[in-house]
A = this chain, B = another copy of it.
Amino acid sequence: MGISDLTAQRLSVYLRCLEDLARSGVRSISSQRLAGRLHLNSAQIRKDLACFGEFGVRGVGYYVADLREQLTRILGLDRCHRVAIVGAGNLGMALADYGGFNSEGFSIVALFDSDPAKVGGRTRRDIPVEPMESLPEIARREHLGIAILAVPAAAAQHALDLVGRAGIRAVLNFAPAPLVPPPGVILKGVDLAVQLENLAYHLSRGVAGP
């Protein structure tokens, strides 16, 4: 069966919840109770998990430690991913220092910027800002696997191409531009302006129903 992106995203949510449960000392949990915590349908959870194996125990549920381990492996979080951030503006700097990324799974190695005035600086957590030109070299030396694009829209496609040529094969794009990934590169977009405008849209159409 083909695993959809939505399924993979929910696995991340499940994993996060399982880590909470493990910290609370919970040993096992049913899809029903997990669904309650996450405000999802329990069949959805069972189907998502069943894509990758039979992790549950009938009459019991899922063992937290076991499932946590399985999901960590499935999501590729059993090894550390080395991340570059391209664009050292407000957003790039903040993302570099953002504590919300599963800190075991990801390590922000460097920021890159084409503005010489920014190069040489460091974030509060001491991540260095490197010149754009050294991206290919550093990418290979440091084994960077993921890039986060936080550049202006006009520079985004160029930056993406550069990143692709440097051998980085996965990119998270924050620039508000419709980009074409180079062959072999996985591209995901997060468009903050669209999300905010979506709220404006809902506000102008009256308030949420039940």
Report A's interface with B, CB cutoff 8 A.
5, 8-9, 11-13, 15-16, 37-39, 74-77, 81, 83, 89-91, 93-95, 97-102, 105-106, 124, 145-146, 148, 169-172, 174, 176, 178, 180-181, 184-186, 188, 190-205, 207-208
Please give, as numbers and ranges, the residues of chain B lying within 8 Å of A105 by CB-CB distance.
197, 200
Please give, as numbers and ranges, the residues of chain B lying within 8 Å of A11 by CB-CB distance.
201
For residue A123, which residue of chain B has the nearest CB? B90
Please give, as numbers and ranges, the residues of chain B lying within 8 Å of A93 by CB-CB distance.
94
Please give, as numbers and ranges, the residues of chain B lying within 8 Å of A83 by CB-CB distance.
196
User: Measured between alpha carbons, how far is A144 from B184 in the docked complex, in Å?
Assistant: 44
Q: Is the CB of A207 within 8 A of B188?
A: no
Q: Is the CB of B193 within 8 A of A102?
A: yes
Inter-chain pairs besides A13-B194, A100-B176, 17 sampled, C-beta below 8 Å: A9-B198, A39-B180, A75-B201, A75-B204, A76-B200, A77-B200, A90-B99, A95-B192, A101-B193, A146-B203, A170-B200, A184-B208, A186-B202, A186-B207, A190-B190, A190-B192, A190-B195
Of the candidates B12, B38, B91, the one whose C-beta lies within 8 Å of that of A198 is B12
Of the candidates B13, B75, B89, B202, the one whose C-beta lies within 8 Å of that of A178 is B13
For residue A154, which residue of chain B has the nearest CB? B20
Known A170-B203, A186-B207, A203-B145; contact A8-B101, beta-carbon cutoff 8 A: no
17 contacts between A and B (CB under 8 A): A9-B194, A13-B191, A16-B176, A74-B201, A75-B204, A76-B200, A76-B201, A83-B196, A98-B192, A105-B197, A106-B196, A146-B196, A169-B203, A172-B196, A186-B199, A186-B202, A188-B198
